[in-house]
Amino acid sequence: MADKNQQTYHPAAANGYSRNDTETGGVDPRELRRQKQKKWALYIIAFVIFQTGIIVLFTFTVMKFRTHKFRVRNSRSFDTFDVQPTTPSFNMRMNTQFGVKNTNFGPFKYGNTTVTFYYRGTEVGSTTLRKSKANFRSTKKVNVPVDLVMPTTLASNADLISDLNSGILPLTSQAKMNGKVEIMFIFKKKRTANMNCTMEVNLSSKALQNIKCK
């Protein structure tokens, strides 16, 4: 009878009660390692995608070589302004401002550049811009005088007589500016810009107006 009344003894846990793995929600250590590996893999993939995006953005913005723009901006004044509609003739010294617009993320260095002015296809003057540079993402303004003198070949030109009497003298300017863009002091590339501008000299107000450049 003593054997029948004897109860089975289960050793108590250290905290006073026992739990199995199901009750404690225990996880296999190998599963934990797999979860951590997946998490790190996602972090690495996200980092690689981020770095790729930065490289692509850098390539298409900072590292992209752009062609500068060379333009006639305006005329600040005329030192000489001698116009004779009846003769006809003109002799002017125009203080002209040119602009070199550089949109690159590095300086643009250009060489000596000659700008030629024409009246209806006939050359009437020219000037030279000395070599210099336009800083990154800026417009360099250069003031240079231009002598505009009527050649003798236009002495009997009917269009010139008409234009001088109307008070408007149409002009065009052309030039080719060669230079080199330098990015991060390492990468260099040659660039050429062509100037092709039209404008008018207002003979009554002695001003340059309606400047349009392509």
User: Does residue 14 sit within a domain?
Assistant: no
User: Does residue 3 sit within a domain?
Assistant: no
What pLDDT does residue 31 have? 82
Residue-wise pLDDT tens digits, 144-190: 999 999 999 999 899 999 999 999 999 999 999 999 999 887 889 99
Whether this model's pTM surpasses 0.85: no
Count of domains observed in the chain: 1
**What integer best gives the mean pLDDT of the chain?**
87
Mean pLDDT of 57-67: 74
Nearest to 168 by CA among 213, 127, 196, 210: 210
Q: Which residues contact 150 (CB under 8 A, 6 or more apart)?
A: 88, 89, 90, 91, 119, 124, 160
DSSP state of 205: T
Residue 64's pLDDT band (boundaries 50, 70, 90)?
confident
User: Does residue 74 sit within a domain?
Assistant: yes
Residue 60's pLDDT band (boundaries 50, 70, 90)?
low
User: Does residue 37 sit within a domain?
Assistant: no
Q: Which of 20-34, 51-65, 68-82, 186-200 has the lowest mean pLDDT?
A: 20-34
Identify the residue with better confidence: 59 or 28: 28
User: Does residue 172 sit within a domain?
Assistant: yes
What pLDDT does residue 24 have? 45
User: Does residue 94 sit within a domain?
Assistant: yes
Identify the residue with better confidence: 58 or 82: 82
Cα dihedral 130, 135, 136, 138 sign: negative
What pLDDT does residue 17 have? 47
The amino acid sitting at 93 is: R
Identify the residue with better confidence: 86 or 146: 146
CATH of the domain at 121: 2.60.40
What pLDDT does residue 58 have? 64
Residue 89: which domain range?
Answer: 69-213
Identify the residue with better confidence: 55 or 6: 55
Q: Of all residues in the chain, what percent carry a pLDDT higher than 70?
A: 83
Q: How far apart are CA 139 and CA 130, in angstroms?
A: 16
What pLDDT does residue 37 have? 85
Neighbours of 80 (CB within 10 A): 13
What pLDDT does residue 7 have? 52
User: Does residue 5 sit within a domain?
Assistant: no
Residue-wise pLDDT tens digits, 124-142: 999 999 999 999 999 999 9
User: Does residue 7 sit within a domain?
Assistant: no
